[in-house]
Chain A
Amino acid sequence: MSRALIHVPPRARAGEIIEIRTLVQHPMETGFRPLPEGGFVPRLILRRFECIYDGAVVFAAELHPAVAANPYIAFRLRATRSGGILFRWIDDQGAVREERAGIEVI
């Protein structure tokens, strides 16, 4: 797993609903692609995405083999307090990728 692009508004009013957009680089290999010499390309997909903010998981998603490469996930959350927002992707092999972004709530 490698690069990620994350968009979080730098500041928001308390109680405001903000949009978060994430794009992560991942092949999302389905496991259904045949190899020329027989057999299949082993499956390697992101299984779970989580967003942790203000001490709680505020958004989570289960991903499946039909999700395209480089999953783009956009969602909204309510800005409550200034601080970090943690993004976490977990793949088939249990590898975890984490990204952080900050928000200032005024």
Chain B
Amino acid sequence: MTSRRFSTALIAALIAAMTSAPASSEAGDGRRSGYLFMSPQTRAMQDDDMANPGMLTVLEGAELWSRPTGPAGRSCADCHGADGSGMRGVAARYPAFDVAEGKPVDLAGRIRKCSAEHLLIEPPAFESRPLLALMTFVAHKARGTRVTTGEDPRLSRGIETGRGLWRTRFGQLELSCAQCHDDNAGRRLGSAPIPEAHPTGYPIHRLEWQTVGSLQRRIRGCLTGVRAEPFPYGADELIALELFLMDRARGMPMETPGVRP
């Protein structure tokens, strides 16, 4: 009786521990977020909004969101709501198909397009502070929602392009993304664990960068790592890779702002 009560308590404690764990880890089907490859200290940093440096970028984005700009004196908030609550879950379906362009567009591209067409300003430069701040603010609104990118059938061609690039060997080292992140995920490259490359926490605060950065920056870093010339920011190839990766992570919860070593 005592032991049964004990095991019931144990199970209850386990369930409590599982449900209180951040929604940032599992997909229930064996796919693992990069979060699970990190040290307990780095996880704690991501989990605590008071210690997660990405939250400073979210604050920065919130300020830009409602600041009137351009000749028309408009702000993002004028169309999308003052607190951005209309953006809930939006980042979880990006890159999305853009009808006017006839091709997929990622969050950075959408914000740049919106800046040019609606705010009538020069679009913020790739990887600039204002662009990253707005991306982080919008993606933070999707935190906890499940990735749905790829449900739109018009994206299938882009996904296949991305899959092709994922399997292409690049650079002097002649390595494909898949050789590390599919074939050897969970093992180590030197001292660093090789994650499964699910882009659910982007833009991430990377400790190595000492700042927030985009998925495109991360992919470009990998390309430099295999000694290939990286695709320029905003290139269709990078968007195709983003699209393929988000589709591959479909159903996993968003974690933005993620912290990664």
* Residue A72, interface by CB 8 Å: yes
Q: 0/1 per residue, A42-73, Cβ < 8 Å to B?
A: 00000000000000000000000000111010
Other-chain contact of B211, A21, A23, A69 (Cβ < 8 Å)? A69
| Chain B min CB distance to A50 (Å) | 20
Residue A100 interfacial (CB < 8 Å): no
**Cβ-defined contact, B51 with A23, below 8 A:** yes
B60 touches A2 (CB 8 A): yes
Q: Is the CB of B210 within 8 A of A28?
A: yes
Chain B residues near A5 (CB-CB < 8 A): 49-50, 55-56, 59
Interface centre among A2, A28, A70, A72 (most CB of B within 10 A): A70
- B interface residues, tally (CB under 8 Å): 11
Q: Number of A interface residues, CB 8 Å?
A: 14
A residues near B210, Cβ cutoff 8 Å:
27-28, 68-70
| Min C-beta distance of B147 to chain A, whole Å | 27
C-alpha spacing A72/B56, complex, angstroms? 12
Cβ contact of A21, chosen from B51, B53, B55, B60, cutoff 8 A: B51
- B11 CB-CB contact with A under 8 Å: no
Contact string against A for B residues 17-59, beta-carbon threshold 8 Å, 1 for contact and 0 otherwise: 0000000000000000000000000000000011101011001
Q: Which of A2, A7, A70 contacts B53 (CB 8 A)?
A: A70
B51 contacts A3, C-beta separation under 8 Å = no
CB-based contact B53/A3 at 8 Å: no
With a cutoff of 8 Å between Cβ atoms, the chain B residues found around residue A69 in the complex are: 53, 210-211
How many residue pairs between the two chains, A and B, have CB atoms under 8 Å in the bound complex? 35
Chain B residues whose CB sits within 8 angstroms of the CB of A21 once the complex forms: 50-51
Interface string of A64-105 (1 = CB under 8 A from B): 000011101000000000000000000000000000000000
B207 interface hit (Cβ, 8 Å):
yes
Known: A68-B207, A69-B211. A23 touches B50 (CB 8 A): yes
* A3 B207 Cβ-Cβ under 8 A: no
Q: Which residues of A contact B207 (CB under 8 A)?
A: 68
Provide the bound-state CA to CA distance between A72 and B55, in Å: 13
Contact of A7 among B50, B56, B60, B211 (CB under 8 A): B50
| Nearest-Cβ distance from residue B8 to partner chain A, whole angstroms | 35
**Please, which residues of chain B bring their CB within 8 A of the CB of A23?**
50-51, 53, 55-56
Q: Which of A2-28 contact B (CB under 8 A)?
A: 2-5, 7, 21, 23, 25, 27-28
Complex CA gap A65/B53 in Å reads 18
Chain B residues near A25 (CB, 8 Å)?
53, 56, 60
A28 surroundings in chain B (CB, below 8 A): 210
In the complex, per-residue mask of B179-222: 1 if CB is within 8 Å of any chain A CB, else 0: 00000000000000000000000000001001100000000000
Distance, CA A1 to CA B56, complexed state (A): 12
> How far, in whole Å, are A2 and B177 apart by their CA atoms in the complex?
38
Q: List 10 A-B contacts (CB under 8 A).
A: A2-B56, A3-B60, A4-B56, A5-B56, A7-B50, A23-B50, A25-B53, A27-B210, A69-B211, A70-B56
Chain A residues close to B by CB (< 8 Å): 2-5, 7, 21, 23, 25, 27-28, 68-70, 72
Known A-B contacts: A3-B56, A7-B50. Give 10 more (CB < 8 A). Answer: A2-B60, A3-B59, A3-B60, A5-B50, A5-B59, A23-B51, A25-B60, A28-B210, A69-B211, A70-B210
